[in-house]
């Protein structure tokens, strides 16, 4: 048994190493293409600076406390909105997924509201909350709610009815079976919805800050930097925002794998 476990661990380590190498190679190829296109003047240099120039400016930004504070401001609004949307969407998705009548009554409304872009609601949010972080939080909540809600509903629909019937045969009530059987089965789907919402929430937070022009967060910093006539700081900030998004997704994915390593889909990926 110990030998099997050790072999399984080595296989997972090799798979993770190969995945990392492929990712690094992909990034290097993309940077090389960027560098070549910018160097040969494929686009005007003031519009499309070289990769080395942008990366150098990005490294310099990391040492600026003013920029770091703006990043933290954006992350605060984003995470607050994500927490609120999770608290709202998960219970609602569980109820809609558990009770077919509620799902049928609400499905048309959900599908009609889900495509509405957050930025289209920016004027309404500004009227309600003004040019403040609350506007960013409200739009993050709007956008993040939908993937979490939909995945929560699908997670509940995926629950094995035989498992629920078995739980009831052992004397568990409806709500106890929901808590002890249905929720653990749906949890990986809910976690996937939250992970999808993380990237959307970060993009919406930055975009909202740029549109509102409140001057706070990374979005406000990008607007102010672009007024200087050079796009290099804008590209550098965009690269760092992408890096932050990747790190958040990676961190949540690692937590997700650890929490749900018992689930079939995660066992297959690790094999």
31 and 55 together in one domain: no
33 and 80 together in one domain: no
37 and 154 together in one domain: no
23 and 93 together in one domain: no
pTM summary value: 0.83
Token pair 């380590």: residue: 13
24 and 115 together in one domain: no
Average pLDDT over residues 129-154: 91
65 and 43 together in one domain: no
Q: Which helix (H) or strand (E) holds 246?
A: helix 232-259
Token pair 């937070």: residue: 205
23 and 111 together in one domain: no
Return the sign of the alpha-carbon dihedral for residues 133, 135, 136, 138. Answer: positive
- Residue 225 belongs to a domain with what CATH number? 1.10.3720.10
30 and 95 together in one domain: no
258 and 158 together in one domain: yes
- Percent pLDDT > 90 in the chain is 26
Per-residue pLDDT reduced to its tens digit, 23-43: 788 888 888 887 888 788 777
Range(s) of the domain holding residue 223: 50-270
202 and 226 together in one domain: yes
C-alpha 172/C-alpha 150 separation (Å) is 27
Per-residue pLDDT reduced to its tens digit, 79-89: 999 999 999 99
Q: How many domains does the chain have?
A: 2
């Amino acid at each position: 048994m110990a030998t099997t476990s050790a072999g399984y661990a080595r296989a997972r380590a090799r798979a993770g190493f190969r995945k990392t190498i492929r990712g690094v190679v992909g990034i290097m190829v993309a940077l090389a293409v960027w560098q070549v296109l910018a160097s040969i003047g494929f686009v005007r240099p003031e519009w499309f600076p070289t990769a080395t120039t942008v990366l150098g400016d990005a490294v310099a930004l990391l040492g600026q406390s003013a920029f770091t504070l703006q990043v933290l401001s954006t992350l605060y609004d984003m995470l607050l909105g994500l927490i609120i949307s999770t608290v709202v969407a998960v219970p609602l998705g569980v109820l809609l997924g558990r009770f077919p009548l509620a799902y049928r009554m609400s499905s048309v409304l959900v599908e009609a509201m889900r495509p509405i872009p957050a930025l289209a609601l920016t004027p309404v949010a500004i009227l309600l909350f003004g040019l403040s972080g609350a506007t960013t939080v409200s739009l993050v909540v709007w956008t993040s709610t939908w993937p979490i809600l939909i995945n929560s509903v699908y997670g509940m629909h995926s629950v094995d009815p035989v498992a629920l019937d078995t739980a009831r045969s052992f004397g568990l009530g409806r709500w106890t079976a929901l808590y002890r059987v249905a929720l653990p089965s749906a949890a990986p789907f809910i976690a996937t919805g939250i992970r999808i919402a993380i990237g959307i929430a970060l993009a919406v937070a930055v975009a909202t800050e740029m549109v509102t022009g409140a001057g706070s967060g990374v979005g406000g910093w990008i607007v102010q930097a672009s007024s200087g006539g050079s796009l290099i700081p804008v590209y550098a900030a965009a690269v760092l925002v992408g890096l932050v998004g990747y790190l958040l997704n990676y961190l949540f994915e690692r937590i997700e794998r650890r929490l749900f390593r018992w689930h079939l889909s995660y066992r297959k990926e690790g094999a």
